[in-house]
Amino acid sequence: MNNRRARTVLALLSCCFCLSLAQQPGRFNIVLQNAGISSMHTAVTHYGNVIFLDRTNIGPSAINLVGNCRDNPADMMTTHDCTAHSVIYDPSSNTVRPVFIYSDTWCSSGQFLPNGTLMQTGGSSDGGSIIRYFTPCSSGSWCNWMESSTNLQSSRWYASNQILPDGRIIVVGGRGVYNYEFQPTGGQFYLQFLKDTADFQDDNLYPYLHLLPSNLLYIFANRDSILLNYFTNTVVRKFPTIPGEPRNYPCSGSSVMLALDTANSYSKAEVLVCGGANQASFKNSDAQYGASQTCGRMEVTSNSPYWDMSYMPFRRNMGDMVLLPTAKVLIINGAQNGSQGYLLASNPILNPLLYDPDKKTFEIQAPSTIPRVYHSTANLLPDGRVLVAGSNTRYTYQYTGPFPTELRVETFSPAYLDATNDWLRPRIAKNPFTITYGMPFSVDVAIPGKLVGNIQLTLLSSPFTTHSFSQGQRQLKLPVAASVLSYANTYYVASTAPPSSVVAPPSYYMLFALHNGIPSQAVWVLVTS
């Protein structure tokens, strides 16, 4: 870094740090004192309720099953278990319902299918090759986990999933597994890249997967990344190595693909990777090495890609990165020292950061009072809040000592939800339930007062979040052809659906309207052919 750039970075950091607590934007609220489980895996369904999921072989949880118990002779802790290890959380009522799940889901992966069903894959012990399905239902209805009669082709622990344009799921990697497979149909293929990035502590687990608008798959593991043509099962490009520390589990940073934009016909894709840990931090946890303070950003569709590096105000590992309706990135949860793993981190970081992709700046947000370290999650809700859950640094549930098992659930409300913005806040008054690739559609958007600037529309997927990576997270800025006053401060907004399933794989998405940068409550739309 040259001296001029270094001075600029330091000035920006100094400006961020000078904010007092009262000036720091956003706010945390504890919405549930006891969820019954500490969620290791979290996903928001198109009904707006939330799936919380933990390991099953962790011993008793803090919530009982209803009507039955789980008898599993393969369980390492409790072969006869009458407590739940998955619950459904209803944000509207702040209540949870226990859900039965059988095989071990420890460090597993998942992704929503085109019909809104969650496919959940792998785990440990008896769950390593299991495929599970959760078909969501509305609040007050009964829905449960089901195990498939067919298995994964490899046993996968710490793998990652990504939905493809044809609706299949690609499942990549896992501990000691150097291949990928397609589900529910398709073959299995060796990938040398996974073996090459498996160092002495396997810093290539939970690889970052991003489906590019070129219909190629970007895969990042450890410090390296490739472009995979999954049709021909060939690596078509190797990207530059990111400077600094390893970025995947157990040295976990996080990653997102920034919003795809209609302004460039959705052709430009940029990947952001932030945080990580010293390579020796997992094997030598007593040293409590400082985490990474850097972010790397790369335009992976460029002919000459390179890592544009920047510094966060804080060191961070185990951070979760959440795409907000504004296309900014919230970086939340984590610690400043150590690595992922049971009791291997210290110095929890309570302040989220807000990254602005246009300005390439970080803004410190108001802090939480709850450390969220190993096995924490963060997911966007349709109302624009970010749901934060989990944190369990032990093999079992323990409620005393350093970093006890955390059962509380909280939300982070970005500044766009402040009451001072209510006069700008739009409301989607009428919307389509299905939009078809390449076809026009319209939305009626109500504005409290006078229209200020333009109305924008954005689509956001609902990812499966675990271990600091939200699998399948995706955002699109849609075109707005016209915003015409229709009736009573309500505007007819004309747009066009994404051009193909390569740009937006078939699934349910949250559709937000934005007025002068302030988002509406989202509505769920099915994007399909």
Give the pLDDT mean for 309-331: 98
Parallel, antiparallel, or unpaired: how do β-strands 376-380 and 86-90 relate? unpaired
Percent of the chain predicted with pLDDT > 90? 88
Distance, in Å, from the CA atom of 198 to the CA atom of 194, rounded to the nearest integer, reads 6
Q: Please determine, for residue 3, whether its predicted confidence score (pLDDT) is greater than 80.
A: no
Q: How far apart are the first and last CA of the chain?
A: 47
Res 453: pLDDT: 87
Res 21: pLDDT: 66
Res 134: pLDDT: 97
Q: Report the SS3 class of residue 14.
A: helix
Alpha-helical runs (H) found in 29-159: none
Token pair listed for 373: 């370290």
Q: Please determine, for residue 194, whether its predicted confidence score (pLDDT) is greater than 90.
A: yes
Res 483: pLDDT: 87
Res 141: pLDDT: 78
Res 14: pLDDT: 37
Instruction: Give the DSSP per-residue string, 153-179.
Output: SS--SS-EEEE-TTS-EEEE--TT--E
Distances (CA, A) of 216 to 165, 211, 236, 413, 438: 10, 6, 9, 35, 20
Q: Please determine, for residue 203, whether its predicted confidence score (pLDDT) is greater than 60.
A: yes
Instruction: Give the DSSP per-residue string, 362-410.
Output: EEE-PPPSS---TTEEEEE-TTS-EEEEE---SSS---SSSS-----EE
Give the pLDDT mean for 209-221: 98
Give the pLDDT mean for 164-177: 97
- Computed over every residue of the chain, the mean pLDDT equals 94
Percent of the chain predicted with pLDDT > 70? 96
Whether the model clears a pTM of 0.85, i.e. scores above it, the answer is: yes
Taking the mean position of all CA atoms in its chain, how far away is CA 346?
23
Residue located via tokens 């894709």: 269
Q: Please determine, for residue 400, whether its predicted confidence score (pLDDT) is greater than 60.
A: yes
Token pair listed for 15: 């400006």
Distance, in Å, from the CA atom of 197 to the CA atom of 172, rounded to the nearest integer, reads 13
Burial 362-380 (b: 16+ CB within 10 A, else e): bbbbbebebbbbbbbbbbb
Give the pLDDT mean for 346-350: 97
Neighbouring residues of 165: CB distance < 8 A, sequence distance ≥ 6: 211, 215, 500, 501, 502, 505, 506
Structure confidence by residue, pLDDT tens digits, 441-457? 999 999 998 898 889 99
Res 142: pLDDT: 83
Distance, in Å, from the CA atom of 315 to the CA atom of 326, rounded to the nearest integer, reads 25
Q: Report the SS3 class of residue 21.
A: helix
Distance, in Å, from the CA atom of 364 to the CA atom of 87, rounded to the nearest integer, reads 32
DSSP 94: T
Structure confidence by residue, pLDDT tens digits, 412-434? 999 999 999 999 999 999 999 99
Top-confidence residue, 283 or 461 = 461
Give the pLDDT mean for 256-278: 98
Structure confidence by residue, pLDDT tens digits, 470-519? 999 999 999 999 889 888 899 999 999 999 999 999 999 999 999 999 99
Lowest mean pLDDT among 253-257, 283-287, 436-440: 283-287
Q: Report the SS3 class of residue 219.
A: strand
Res 380: pLDDT: 98
Taking the mean position of all CA atoms in its chain, how far away is CA 437?
25
Q: Report the SS3 class of residue 183.
A: strand
Structure confidence by residue, pLDDT tens digits, 5-62? 433 343 344 344 446 666 899 999 999 999 999 999 999 999 999 999 999 999 999 9
Q: Please determine, for residue 466, whether its predicted confidence score (pLDDT) is greater than 80.
A: yes
Distance, in Å, from the CA atom of 444 to the CA atom of 327, rounded to the nearest integer, reads 22
Structure confidence by residue, pLDDT tens digits, 367-382? 999 999 999 999 999 9
Determine the length of the chain.
Answer: 529
Q: Which of 202, 203, 196 is nearest to 176 (CA)?
A: 202
Res 306: pLDDT: 98
Question: Which class is 419-528 in CATH?
Answer: mainly beta
Res 138: pLDDT: 84
Q: In sequence order, what are the beta bridge partners of 71?
A: 80
Q: Please determine, for residue 2, whether its predicted confidence score (pLDDT) is greater than 50.
A: no
Cα four-point dihedral sign 251, 256, 257, 263: negative
Contact call for residues 289 and 338 (beta carbons, < 8 A): yes
